[in-house]
Amino acid sequence: MIGISWKPNKMRLKPTTPPAPPKRRPRTAAKTVRITDVAISAGVSPITVSRVINAPETVAPETRARVRQAVAQLGYVPNRLAGGLSSAKSRLIAAIVPTVAHSLFSETVQVFSDTMSRAGYQVLLGLSGYSDEDEDQLLDAILSRRPEGVFLTGVAHTPTLRERLRKIGIPIVETWDMSDDPIDMLVGFSHYRIGVAVAERFLARGSRRPALVSADDQRALARRRGFIDTLTQRGIADVAELLMPPPSSVALGKQGLQRILETRPGVDAIFCSSDLLALGVVSEARRLAIDVPGRIAVCGFGALEFTADTTPALTTVRVDGKRIGATAARCLIDRFGGNTEKTLVDVGFDLVERETL
């Protein structure tokens, strides 16, 4: 410890003048760029600037370009919150999908987002996984942002959520499924009919010991029902099947073939609920020196990009995801424009036959 001692009358302290505080330069407040500044720079009215920001499709391309150039040059940032308070418009669309890990849903979301953006809306994306509870919680968070419309994947929602979405008073478009009782608008296809089509193709090929390797989410289970029902009606009631929780993977497909062969070594065709599972089945079959399709035919679902380039090339079911995204966006935009019809669009599907069938 350092001590300081003080002895009186030994030292006098002279008063000192404290140094003058440093001079501060007056701060100049950053100039807020207003919509009127943009209008003057672009040579248009403020309402035109507002239309370019909120409804660009209503403005001529040359005018849009001029206004956007002025916005960029001036650094103008629209006050979306103020606009939302005054007009009750958020310009937000909520889109909820299970995953964007592969192109099955990502291309739908991309086209949907691009189409909505051109119409002056921004898409708020949420990933729900494959859980009804997660979808409910995610919607709670997203609806608090007051979106003007909602894009949903599938039609299998909890009764409470369905009732809530019917009552919130904003357009809802469900996708990637089919139903006779949609919440509002629906753009999709029948998973059940896909299962029927694959079963019929297996039977036409001569398969009598088909099997199923599938995820257990609602849409995959609908394909399973169509597959099993069709086989049962044709006298094949005992179908080997393996169900597993999503998400699917190549590794799970490999394990799936191993487990199927343990109980049904004579299986002659396998329908997989995804292309990833199908690729795993084919890879494991090659490792085991099992001829595909001579000994076992394989069909996937999704028509992912790699399916045409595998060896052998993978048979799969193709759905036009881009069309789903564009049509769903058009449904919402038309609804915002005053169309009150309850739209239902079936985009169908294609069975793409390649070397594994």
pLDDT tens per residue, range 211-257 = 999 999 999 999 999 999 999 999 998 899 999 998 899 999 999 99
Please give the backbone phi and psi of residue 82, each rounded to the nearest 5 degrees, phi first: -60, -40
Q: C-alpha 74: how far from its chain's center?
A: 35
* 337/39 Cα distance (integer angstroms): 26
Task: Report which of 98, 83, 74, 17 is spatially closest to residue 53, judged by C-alpha positions.
Answer: 83
Position 30 pLDDT exceeds 50: no
- What is the structure's pLDDT at 82? 53
Residues of the chain with CATH 3.40.50.2300: 89-189+321-347, 191-318
Question: What b/e readout covers 291-306, taking b as 16+ CB neighbours within 10 angstroms?
Answer: ebbeebbbbbbbbbee
Q: pLDDT tens digit string along 270-313?
A: 999 999 999 999 999 999 999 999 999 999 999 998 999 999 99
**Average pLDDT over the chain, rounded to an integer:** 86
- What is the structure's pLDDT at 164? 79
Per CATH, the architecture of 89-189+321-347 is what? Answer: 3-Layer(aba) Sandwich (3.40)
Question: What b/e readout covers 26-62, taking b as 16+ CB neighbours within 10 angstroms?
Answer: eeeeeeebebebbbebbebeeebbbbbbbebeebeee
- What is the structure's pLDDT at 158? 80
**Cβ 328 vs Cβ 151: under 8 Å:** yes
Residues of the chain with CATH 1.10.260.40: 36-80
- What is the structure's pLDDT at 251? 96
Position 201 pLDDT exceeds 70: yes
* 153/94 Cα distance (integer angstroms): 11
Position 48 pLDDT exceeds 80: yes
- What is the structure's pLDDT at 31? 62
In terms of pLDDT, which residue wins out, 260 or 143? 260
User: Which pLDDT band holds residue 55 (cuts at 50, 70, 90)?
Assistant: confident
User: Which pLDDT band holds residue 169 (cuts at 50, 70, 90)?
Assistant: confident
- How would you class 156 by CB atoms within 10 Å of its CB: exposed for 0-12, middle for 13-18, buried for 19 or more? middle
Radius of gyration of the chain (CA): 31
Tell me the longest C-alpha to C-alpha distance in the chain. Answer: 118
Q: pLDDT tens digit string along 321-357?
A: 999 999 999 999 999 998 888 789 999 999 999 999 9
- What is the structure's pLDDT at 19? 54
Q: Which of 6-20, 23-37, 306-320 has the least mean pLDDT?
A: 6-20
* Domain 191-318 belongs in CATH node 1.10.10.410: no
Region for 148 from its dihedrals, namely left if φ exceeds 0, alpha if ψ lies in -120 to 50, beta otherwise: alpha
**Cβ 177 vs Cβ 219: under 8 Å:** yes
Q: Quick one: angle between helices 159-167 and 132-143, nearest 10?
A: 20
- What is the structure's pLDDT at 200? 98
Q: Which residues on neighbouring strands pair with residue 174, listed in sequence order?
A: 152, 186
Q: pLDDT tens digit string along 97-146?
A: 888 777 788 899 999 999 999 999 999 998 887 766 677 778 777 777 78
User: Which pLDDT band holds residue 84 (cuts at 50, 70, 90)?
Assistant: very low
Position 5 pLDDT exceeds 70: no
Question: Domain 36-80 in CATH: superfamily?
Answer: lambda repressor-like DNA-binding domains (1.10.260.40)
